[in-house]
A and B are shown apart, each in its own frame.
Chain A
Amino acid sequence: MKRIFLNLKIALGSLGNFKLRTALATLGVVFGTFSLVVVGNLSDSLALKTEQEIANLGNNLIIVVSGQVRRHGPSTPLISRATNLTPGDAEAIANNLPAAARAAPSGFKAFPVRRGNTVLKAIAVNGVTPDFGEVRNFEIAAGTPITEEDNRLQRKVALIGSATAEKLFGEENPIGKTILIWRVPCQIIGVMAEKGADIAGNDQDNQIFVPLKTFLRNFVNQENVNIIYVQAVSVEAIEPLRKEIEALLRVRHGIRKEMKDDFTVLDLKEVTALKSQAMGLISVLGRIAAAASFLIGALGILSIMILIVNERRVEIGIRRAVGSRKRDIILQFLLESSFISVSGGIIGMAAGFLMSLAIAKVLGYPATVSVPGLLLAFAASALSGIVAGIYPSFKATQIHPVDIIRS
């Protein structure tokens, strides 16, 4: 231990002569560990963010959309319309498929909303059943939820999002007040808890919920819904349940074998897959850049080590004369080169750590520390130092005390 310490001290004294060159030599390792740590932390952040988003949308959620949609990451543009997805379909799913815990049919459309002189031009109005909150993880901050009775009696009641409440009422308590949605006066019975943006970036706090039957009768005057949210009993049940729903709806909609579905069943893994793919690509590119940096770093350290070995020919000769074996010399210089690279690596890791925190903050992702990423960065920096030290330390063993003393 003492020996390592003394050797390092001597090495540092020698490196002091080449401060700038040493700094430049380690730059590659600095960038290498930097990008490894950034990529590691950010992909963990994104995974966590996606997980949170999915949980935010609803646990074990399957979404049945009317018509055919093109799956394109978070956005799902409609490519064909259909008008035959009904609340009855939702009931059939909930009642006939044991893997479905709940099914919440929902219709939505944007309407102008007015209260006194305040007019909001287009607020999403959702017709929902009492199960909606449970299935979609929506909670009520104040007031009462929409009940079965509200729905059955087509009561003109509404739950409003926290942002909508803020816009319409400011500091005032909205509960019990009446607002005009399109041309339907509705009494506010509750305010939703804050939920933030959804996976596609829409503000979920700026919308209104009314009983589904009220919505269908008084707002859109139709029988069909846009969407059915289905909660599976478990994560494992999602995949089989999707197939069961497809089969059930094909029968209910009378779709013959060769015909295409007039609905689309989405599972959130698919919706987030594209995002993960993008991050996966960034990770791969980051790792390639890191590998290139480590290569450059190793070459830099190689050159500085050759310089150091040449500068310390006398020292090596003396060490050999007083009894160091070749393997002692090899060990010494490998230790020195890995010390240089690990020092650079630690700087890069610290910088990468700060950078990933900053990026996560800007993107609004949760900040995470990828421990495997840090370990990989550390190992890679140590390894590049060792690899860089092999040739110089071998050269060092070629220095013979006799050559030194003869001068």
Chain B
Amino acid sequence: MTPLCLMEDVRKTFRMGDDAVEVLKGIDLEIVPGEFAAIMGTSGSGKSTLMNLIGCLDVPTSGRYLLAGREVLGLQDDDLSVLRNAHIGFVFQSFYLLPYATVLENVLLPTLYREKTVAHTEERAVELLRLIGLEARMRFRPNRLSGGEQQRVAICRALMNDPELLLADEPTGQLDSKTAAEIMNLLAKMNERGKTVIVVTHDPAIAACAKRIIRIKDGVIVDEQAA
């Protein structure tokens, strides 16, 4: 199977004044379609940087990164935006819903930047909200929803443009364990429906939900195991 994400000797160096800090020191990684993977590591391990690279929020300093068969290195900022819009759905620790927009408008946000207009976008958004049981509150502002509900809305937003990859950064970091389990179940369900899911976490319990665990330490992958 052609990999969805293919990294070969990916390195990332940040400049801190005169010093150059190499955060990622040669990552080789292959994610195939339909995988449910967790990237684990302590803070400072480089896992956030790796997530940013996978998510095309940033580009590697060197190496190769193919996303859905496209070389990411050397792409312009606007090309990265288009790539993210079409292929990646983000779920963040702090949900990051827009406070002045309704639940439905938040879910529709990625469609505002879609290259081609697609029919029935609103119906699809409502359908997604029905799936997570928040259809009745689609006209609410996000601040009237609980944390778990907000994160479910954020997942709907991530799914809105039907991307191949769901990239979740500590998706349960601000939730209690029961709600966290619900969110992980939802992600697992999406994985069963064919989405490739990558969860970035430091929490072993969360990582355990994934089918594959990639451990990263000091900028290199130290251990890989199938759960």
Interface residue from B81, B99, B169 paired with A325 (Cβ < 8 Å): B81
A317 to B96, CA, bound (A): 9
Within 8 A of A (CB), among B8-56: 48, 52, 55
> How many Å from the CB of A324 to the closest CB on chain B?
5
Q: Which of B48, B86, B105 contacts A406 (CB under 8 A)? A: B48
- Rounded to whole angstroms, the CA-CA distance of A355 and B78 in the bound complex is 49
Given the complex, which residues of B lie within 8 Å of A314, measured CB to CB? 96
Find residues 107-123 in chain B having any chain A CB closer than 8 Å to their own CB.
Answer: 108-110, 112-114
Instruction: Please indicate the chain B residues that have their CB under 8 angstroms from the CB of A318 in the complex.
Output: 96, 98, 109
**Residue B75 CB within 8 A of the other chain:** no
Interface residue A260 (Cβ < 8 Å from any Cβ of B): no
Within residues 67 to 97 of chain B, which ones have a CB less than 8 A from any CB in chain A?
Answer: 77-78, 81-82, 84-86, 90, 92, 94, 96
Tell me whether B145 is interfacial, beta carbon within 8 Å: no
List residues of chain A with CB within 8 A of the CB of B86: 323
Central interface residue in A7, A14, A320, A321, by most chain B CB within 10 Å: A321
Q: Is the CB of B52 within 8 A of A323?
A: no
The count of residues in chain A whose C-beta lies closer than 8 Å to any C-beta of chain B is 29
Given A328-B113, A401-B57, A406-B48, answer yes or no on A323-B81 (Cβ-Cβ < 8 Å): yes
Q: Is A183 an interface residue (CB 8 A)?
A: no
Any A CB within 8 A of the CB of B58: yes
B84-A327 in contact (CB<8A): no
CB-based nearest B residue for A404: B96
Q: Are A402 and B57 in contact (CB under 8 A)?
A: yes
In the bound complex, residues from chain A placing their C-beta under 8 Å from that of B92 are 405
Contact of B169 with A405 in the complex, beta carbons under 8 Å: yes
Verify if A121 is at the interface (C-beta below 8 Å from B).
no
In the docked arrangement, what's the CA distance between A326 and B109, Å? Answer: 16
Q: Does A250 make an interface contact (CB < 8 A)?
A: no
A322 touches B113 (CB 8 A): yes
The binding surface of chain A is classed by DSSP as: helix
Q: A322's contact among B77, B90, B94, by CB below 8 Å, is which?
A: B90
A401 to chain B: closest CB distance in Å?
Answer: 5
Q: Are A324 and B169 in contact (CB under 8 A)?
A: no
Q: Give CA–CA (A325, B99) in the complex, Å.
A: 21
Task: Check B215 for interface membership: any CB of A closer than 8 A.
Answer: no
Cβ contacts under 8 Å, A405 to chain B: 48, 52, 57, 92, 169
Q: A315-B98, A402-B52 are in contact. Are A323 and B57 (CB under 8 A)?
A: no
Q: Which residue of B lies closest to A14 (CB)?
A: B100
Bound Cα distance from A294 to B84, whole angstroms: 40
A324 adjacent to B113 (CB under 8 Å): yes
Q: Does chain A have a CB within 8 A of B101? A: yes
Nearest CB in chain B: distance from A351 CB, A: 29
Instruction: Given A314-B96, A402-B58, A405-B92, verify A324-B52 contact (CB < 8 Å).
Output: no
For the complex with contacts A325-B81, A328-B112, 9 further pairs of A-B residues with Cβ separation under 8 Å are A10-B105, A319-B113, A322-B90, A322-B109, A323-B81, A324-B85, A325-B113, A327-B78, A405-B169
Interface residues of chain B, those whose CB is within 8 Å of chain A, are: 48, 52, 55, 57-58, 77-78, 81-82, 84-86, 90, 92, 94, 96, 98-101, 105, 108-110, 112-114, 157, 161, 169
**Which 7 pairs across A and B sit closest by C-beta, in order of nearness?**
A323-B85, A13-B100, A323-B113, A322-B110, A325-B78, A325-B81, A10-B100
